Structure 1
Amino acid sequence: MPSGEHCRDLVVTGRVQTAERVVALTMEDPAGCPLPDWTPGAHVDLLLEGGTLVRQYSLCGAPDDRQRWRLGVLDEPGGRGGSRRVHESVHIGDRVAVRGPRNHFELVPAARYLFVAGGIGITPILPMIAAAEAADAQWRLHYGGRSRAAMAFLGEVERYGDRVSVRPMDEQGLLPLAEILGTPSPGTLVYCCGPESLLLAVEESCAAWPPGSLHVERFAPQQPVEPSNDTAFEVECRRSGVTVDVGPGQTILQALKAAGIGVMTSCEEGICGTCETRVLDGIPEHRDSVLDEAEQAANTCMMICVGRARTPRLVLDL
């Protein structure tokens, strides 16, 4: 279980409109206790509606500030209701249950970084830029959005001067990815967060870069690929001593819940990493958007909310 995984009630001590449809929330422990450590790229779960509505938001403050956490929340009219709940009902003085932090978007040490952000995808990039700056690494940021008014935290990124390129779509069009990423740069790591259309375009533009150069974080599941195996299989829970059958069209998580085995979950879409589970034996079929290609190929862990099995039996550390 990742560090800081237990749930805590925090009080909202700040709420600022930082762009059209984007609020920045500042949260602190009501007793003034220090908050858990976190690193750039981390996110937390907000447990809303008594824990029935769970949503993930990136931490975008300063990791060395143990007294407060900051989140940026975009109101998404076509979303699943979490952001609407935050915008309408979470105000200064309110207490909110928070779980985490958790990080599947770690900033790997490097001499040079290229950051690409689209819209609210700027939130995990903000502390990464600060960390790159503190490490005296070379870096550049390309930040796109619908309009300047819709782009959050502009003042914070523009203070870095010519290392930042801000491109509002209504003024200049889409980010020129062919120009930004067309020539591979060995030794440079690319970090990208934003809408799925941007991530897919960046992945295509980085196809010729050295393996491991590109790191992305998704807010929504990738388009599903044709599964190689949707037949029934067994899952042995080694620590629980229980074996369950997982039927076609059923998730491991659903089978475990039906057997009374409790597992911490959140998105159930393979994007948040809450249900990450160690694989002790067997070969999983990965269908998540959390693990990169190398992590999936290692087959040492999986997201059981969407993953299945390529072998007749999986043994999990549950």
Structure 2
Amino acid sequence: MNNIAGLDLPHLNTDDRLRRILTAALPNHSDNSAQPSLDYWDAKFFNLHQVQIFQQATVSEQSAILQLTNRSIFLESYFIEKAGVGYMAKMVLLAETVEERMLYALFTADEATHLSQIVNFLPELEASHSKDPFVNLLAEVVESADKAVLLFVLQVVLEGWGLSHYRRLAKECHHPQLKELFASFLQAESRHHGTGTMLFNRYPVSASTQAAAIDILACFLSMIQVGPQSVLSAIEQVKGDLTRSQKIQIMTELDTQTHSGTRLEILRSLMHGKSAEAIVQALDERGAFTALPAYQCVF
């Protein structure tokens, strides 16, 4: 399961000869020189400055919450880029022209480079396993045999979303080296997104492709609708079990409906073009682009 995404592929020891060859082959000779600290984005980035329980926490508790929220960003980016290497390699094999194969081979190198750069900032990587439902959904999609589904879901929608996401991470990061790193991802992500859009628009979209894309995207959008669950989880990990009313208050203070609404609007805007009209209409009918109030985001 999820062999192509390779989420569970292990890393070599730092002194392994193959790893040294890889390091020498990577652009700029990535050498693990970054010093991970996991405090790159502040409380305001996560809207924690509006959350009463966070503001009343001790300094050490606030620090622990911020470390967890920062780490969740890195882990998500790590697993996305890890899956991206497998996805682009799969698209090399699915290419229908020499030029398409060459382009996806270059995209594979982009993803491998991004993965190596993120690894430099993420400590204790060997113990990391994905429990993120979004990452696990991504890995399942990579296994799809329908090329049109792959193009639309992964390159048109999610690579387009990645552009917005990495742009915000770069803009609001307080670490100059990491700020520059995320900004450097944007050009490659733009190429990946643009290529996916162009190729998808060449494909006749079958009823089965539409149905698969609708089901996958409905699942993904439902994760966006429920707001910043990782922030709520970080608070609960540090402060202990919270009551339902406390969770609702936290999600209200996080302004979850605005948080989700902005993201859902961006995602909807990415699903343009004649080939996507039926998909967007079906998702609209399911209410998939509607942000949920705080009380519906607590389970």
Q: How high is the TM-score relative to the length of structure 1?
A: 0.24
Q: Which has the higher contact order (CA 8 A, sep 6+)?
A: 2
Larger relative helix fraction: 2
TM-score by length of 2: 0.25
Which structure carries more strand by proportion?
1
